[in-house]
Amino acid sequence: MKKLILFCSVFSLSFLTAQNRQITFETGNWASVLQKAKKENKLIFIDAYTTWCGPCKHMAKHVFTKDSVADYFNSKFVNYKMDMEKGEGIEFAKKYQVNCYPNLLFIDGNENLVHRGAGSMGTQDFISFAGNSMNPKENFTAMKTAYEKTGVNESNITAYIDLLSGACLDPSEKVTSYIKTVKEEDLMSRTNWVLMRDYVSDHRSREMTYFLKNIPAYETKFGKDTVSLKLAALGASYFSDHVKAATLDKAAYEKAKKDFEAMKWPNSEKILFDADMRVNKKFDKDAYYKLAASGFLKYNNDNAPALNSMAWTFYEKVTDASQLKAGVEMARRANELKEYYAFMDTYAAVLYKAGNYSEAEKMALKAIDKAKLDKMSEDEYKETSELLKQIRTKLNSK
């Protein structure tokens, strides 16, 4: 009987051990990892991470510890973790353009980039992704080289963008070069419209000049909403030089506004309001809050997140009574549009700061009820609970 128990214990221990394999990462410096990769003729898999990156932690805990992942990576690669904000990681991030986390790279023993991607992946996707690093036609560098050798065109530009974007690399330069080669009559194709919409921001460019002359045609083909969003973004870019300036040239800015008005731009009133908001936020905070109080609700009446955000800003920064009333109205409208705990919390807070304690109490209680309904922990809504205490202190002191 003792032998049987011992056997079962050993079997159980072996079973548990077998289910807890994980990727084995090298502990030496980068030079020693390169040396090992050369010696074993393997690619190096680099987990480029930061300590604050949530998806990095998820991969480390839930993917790197899978048996299938561990077996594959430990047999095929030399594995190395590197914090991009410490030690050798700082220069590594610059050299290999590590712009987001986790960044997952495969590099050979001569420090040549072979394959890369970014973001959290599931077990099978991660293994497939790693397998592509050893495929001379499917790895990142091979595919990027092939696109650039044959020439980026309308049929492959989207795939090229996806390749770079999937590694958190900016495709703007190549897109800009490509769009300049497109004939005007082809700027109306769906692919080229998407590129213009997402990457062309200069209102003076040939592409945007053509777009502005043919707005009705673009609206018919691609929809008014998407065209309206592009017009707003494009209009904002008209004033970018003034927003970015170290000091505001008021005369030049006012002239730019008059020139813009003369262009009869669609939705120009809102674009001018937004421009004044951006300029004042940087150069005149008092004017910024005054302007927001007078017009932000009007121009963002159906944008609940924007209204909530501005109302919270008023709660934190504004003391003027009339402006606080405007903040209350923004929060009220945000709550009309969306019943979110965060919006209710903001509404309660700005009501409290405006001195409307009875309504603030009602809204704080409503926010807490919503948090409980959403199964939030007490810690997650503790700030609302603290606010409720402050509100009741004010009510009891009356």
Catalytic residues: 53, 56
Helix (H, G, I), strand (E, B) or coil at 136: coil
Residue 184 DSSP class: G
For tokens 């159980």, the residue is: 12
Query: Residue 294 half-sphere exposure, CB side, CA atoms within 13 Å?
Result: 11
Distance CA 122, CA 22 (A): 15
Spatial contact of 78 and 43, defined as CB atoms under 8 Å apart = yes
Spatial contact of 283 and 317, defined as CB atoms under 8 Å apart = no
Distance CA 92, CA 113 (A): 12
Backbone angles phi and psi of 48, in degrees to 5? -85, 110
For tokens 């090229």, the residue is: 160
Residue 78 DSSP class: E
Strand order, beta sheet including 43-49: 77-83, 43-49, 103-107, 113-118
For tokens 């991009």, the residue is: 84
Spatial contact of 134 and 161, defined as CB atoms under 8 Å apart = no
Spatial contact of 48 and 93, defined as CB atoms under 8 Å apart = yes
CA neighbor of 179 nearest in space, from 203, 204, 152: 152
Q: Which residue type sits at 146?
A: A
Distance CA 47, CA 398 (A): 60
